[in-house]
Amino acid sequence: MAVWQVDFYQRPVCDRDGTPLWELCVVTPDRSFQTSAWCVQTEANPTWIAERLTEIGKPPEALHVFRPEALSLIKTAGQAIGATTIATRRTIALKHYLQARVAEYVHIAGFNPDRARTYDPLAVGRPAPVPLDDGLQGEQWRFASLTPEALDAVLARPIRFKSAPETLHPLTLGLASTAQIPGIVFDAGRRSLHLARWLDRQIPVAIDYIPGQPDGLVLEVGLADRWVLATFDDTDAIAAGQLYQERRDTAQGLHFLLIRPDDSGMTYTGLWLLQPA
């Protein structure tokens, strides 16, 4: 499927009146093609975006967007050119391009040093994490880890809700056969199907261990939303949380979320391979 990774946002460059300019950036996932175009504030709309995308060439089947603030504009533009817009944090090529562009802005007329000091090309609005509704709470949860072989065995089983892209497979990431891939397992009882269905709609990205008082697990979903999966303050859980984070770092960020009715090992309801993005 042909894909363009797209961003449209204000940069630290202004017009003659001091109004920030918008920049459209388009990159293919393999970075074989990348381009950008400037837009004045008064023309920053879906029509302008659609026209620029059409000028690039034959529209792709999908536009991947990581920035929540740009999603609506690009989605409307995509509809105009017959492309589906997909909200995803996994736009690695585009993010590399945006970071490289920062060094080029200083050479562009209208560069604004004051705006540049606070400009982060990858920053997005991040709401505070929200506790899960009581109806989504599992009966119990625990930290776990699997070797790549054991993970493959789980992936081979019939699981109703499953997300395991090839890009996140241990072999693709070059992990050793002895690597311990950390994860979180929820035994959700009768709520397992309801919880897995809800998670599937949210599009899980990563689960972060957050030290604090108390410590906690925060689930990153969609483009910027966050949910509190659990909180704890006992020493055993804290030690397990620290080990979970260490193993995640060692495994290039790879980890998993497993939802099952109980700990019998007979049935799994949902499985997601995760990695910060």
pLDDT of 265 over the 80 cut: no
Strand (E) positions, 123-223?
130-131, 140-146, 161-163, 181-187, 204-210, 215-221
* Distance of alpha carbon 59 from alpha carbon 49, whole angstroms: 12
pLDDT of 75 over the 90 cut: yes
pLDDT of residue 102: 97
Model confidence at 272, pLDDT cuts 50, 70, 90, reads: very high
Query: How many other C-beta atoms can be found within 10 angstroms of the C-beta atom of residue 259?
Result: 29
Q: Average the pLDDT over 63-84 and give the result.
A: 98
Query: What secondary structure letter does DSSP report for 136?
Result: G
Domains and CATH numbers, the chain: 3-118 (3.30.420.10), 130-274 (no CATH)
Which residues in 153-180 are b (16+ Cβ under 10 Å) and which e? ebbeeebebbbbeeebbbeebebeeebb
Model confidence at 262, pLDDT cuts 50, 70, 90, reads: confident
> By mean pLDDT, which of 58-62, 203-207, 245-249, 262-266 is the weakest?
262-266
pLDDT of 186 over the 90 cut: yes
pLDDT of residue 17: 93
What is the pTM (predicted TM-score) of this model?
0.88
Query: How many other C-beta atoms can be found within 10 angstroms of the C-beta atom of residue 74?
Result: 25
Which tokens is 251 given?
Answer: 């495994």
Model confidence at 12, pLDDT cuts 50, 70, 90, reads: very high
pLDDT of residue 137: 77
Q: Average the pLDDT over 210-234 and give the result.
A: 94
* Distance of alpha carbon 135 from alpha carbon 100, whole angstroms: 45
